[in-house]
């Protein structure tokens, strides 16, 4: 059986957009034969709730929580220690880690890569210090080491065969993409949905693209677009506190700003999203402050309803590929996905 349909979930901002919640909700429907990660390493993170219990993954796809074969693709990078720690964590929590497979073409993040990242990239570019950039550099310099050359990964090697319905799991967000982000304050791989084709299927198979965003913007690490002065704004800090804005992988405090609708429209247009999921709507409701940025100006609204109506209007007006917009109020599930 060949690949029938592919659904893709990507982040529309700077990462941390609740992609894990979307992927988990789709994965548990039982309609997918595989859940696949297409880029990045353990510098990313997803938080997933299963039967009310909170779990975190950094590299292993969310299909593992629902008994679906979970593939780490050829354009990902993997560190042995981090991978083993995640395997142990999942096994201890009762999940079937035999479902986890790694492409033989995936590159290995060495301890030397991590040391180089810590010493040269973390302070100047705000990297996660996980060795990702040096590993990708060696991949493209043709001097990297692939998983197929390492006996450690032998039992996890993927046979590179896909069939049926596939769910592809993105990492980070579009504005961290190596090509489209605020270079050099970006990640080292492509975060756009077309990157999922590196798993081995044509673009014609892609049916739905689920774009994840929040009702406000957040950013981890260094980026001139998110100055340190954001930490001094009491309204934004209230959102950060209510929203518990800390990185899944690093624990770093995220900078918060009002949702930049101009950037959101652009990222939807670039990605061709069919479904938009806007999370943490409840946080704005709690703080009672309803603002977003449109045409480079801060727009303020008297109620959450008027905020939502105007945001939905702008998205539908500018983004013709969008078929459905869902506002999510719950950290664990998405209403009406």
Question: Is 79 in a helix, a strand, or coil?
Answer: coil
pLDDT at 11: 97
Per-position pLDDT tens, the chain of length 337: 699 999 999 999 999 999 999 999 999 999 999 999 999 999 888 889 999 999 999 999 999 999 999 999 999 999 999 999 999 999 999 999 999 999 999 999 999 999 998 988 776 666 778 899 999 999 999 999 999 999 999 999 999 999 999 999 999 999 999 999 999 999 999 999 999 999 999 999 999 999 999 999 999 888 999 999 999 999 999 999 999 998 666 677 899 999 999 999 999 999 999 999 999 999 999 999 999 999 999 999 999 999 999 999 999 999 999 999 999 998 888 878 8
Active site residue 16: yes
Q: Note if the pTM is more than 0.85.
A: yes
pLDDT at 44: 80
The CA radius of gyration of the chain, in Å to the nearest whole number, is 19
Nearest to 216 by CA among 262, 281, 263: 281
Task: Please name the residue that has the structure tokens 């039982």.
Answer: 30
Provide the terminal-to-terminal Cα distance of the chain, rounded to the nearest Å.
28
Active site residue 75: no
pLDDT at 248: 62
Domains of the chain, CATH where assigned: 3-327 (3.40.440.10)
Q: Per-residue DSSP letters for 257-324?
A: EEEEHHHHHHHHHHHT-SEEEEE-HHHHHHHT-EEEEETTEEEEESSHHHHHHHHHHHHHHH-TT--E
* Beta bridge partners of residue 76, listed in sequence order: 40
Which of 16, 117, 177, 217 is catalytic? The answer is 16
pLDDT at 139: 98
- The C-alpha atoms of residue 333 and residue 290 are separated, in whole angstroms, by 23
Task: Please name the residue that has the structure tokens 């548990």.
Answer: 28
DSSP state of 157: B
Is the CB of residue 136 less than 8 Å from the CB of residue 40?
Answer: no
Q: Where are the alpha helices (DSSP H) in 178-232?
A: none
User: Could you count the other beta carbons within 10 Å of the beta carbon of residue 161?
Assistant: 8
- The C-alpha atoms of residue 23 and residue 106 are separated, in whole angstroms, by 22
Which of 2, 7, 42, 46 is catalytic? The answer is 46
Q: Where are the alpha helices (DSSP H) in the chain?
A: 19-27, 80-92, 111-120, 122-125, 132-140, 234-243, 261-271, 281-287, 304-318
């Amino acid at each position: 059986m060949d690949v029938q349909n592919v659904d893709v979930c990507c982040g529309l901002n700077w990462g941390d957009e609740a992609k894990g919640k979307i992927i988990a909700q789709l994965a548990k429907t039982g309609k997918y034969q595989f859940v696949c990660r297409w880029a990045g390493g353990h510098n990313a993170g997803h938080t997933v709730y299963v039967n009310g219990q909170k779990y975190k993954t950094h590299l292993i796809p969310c299909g593992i929580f629902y008994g679906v074969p979970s593939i780490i693709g050829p354009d990902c990078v993997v560190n042995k220690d981090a991978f083993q720690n995640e395997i142990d964590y999942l096994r201890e929590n009762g999940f079937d880690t035999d479902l986890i497979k790694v492409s033989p073409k995936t590159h290995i993040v060495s301890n030397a890569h991590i040391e180089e990242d810590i010493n040269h990239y973390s302070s100047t570019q705000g990297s996660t210090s996980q060795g990702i950039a040096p590993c990708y550099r060696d991949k493209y310099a043709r001097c990297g080491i692939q998983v197929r050359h390492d006996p450690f990964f032998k039992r996890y090697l993927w046979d590179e065969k896909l069939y049926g319905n596939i769910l592809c799991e993105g990492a980070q967000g579009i504005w961290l993409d190596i090509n489209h982000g605020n270079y050099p304050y970006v990640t080292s791989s492509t975060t756009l949905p077309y990157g999922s084709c590196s798993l081995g299927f044509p673009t014609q198979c892609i049916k739905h693209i689920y774009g994840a965003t929040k009702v406000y913007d957040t950013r981890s690490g260094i980026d001139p677009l998110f100055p340190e002065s954001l930490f001094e704004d009491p309204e934004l800090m209230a959102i950060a506190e209510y929203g518990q804005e800390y990185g899944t992988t690093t624990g770093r405090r995220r900078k918060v700003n009002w949702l930049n609708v101009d950037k959101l429209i652009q990222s939807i247009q670039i990605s061709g999203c069919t479904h938009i999921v806007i999370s943490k709507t409840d946080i704005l409701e709690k703080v009672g402050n309803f603002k977003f940025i449109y045409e480079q100006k801060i727009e303020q609204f008297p109620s959450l309803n008027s905020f939502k109506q105007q945001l939905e209007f702008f998205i539908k007006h500018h983004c013709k590929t969008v078929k459905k917009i869902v506002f999510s109020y719950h950290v664990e599930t998405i209403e009406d996905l």
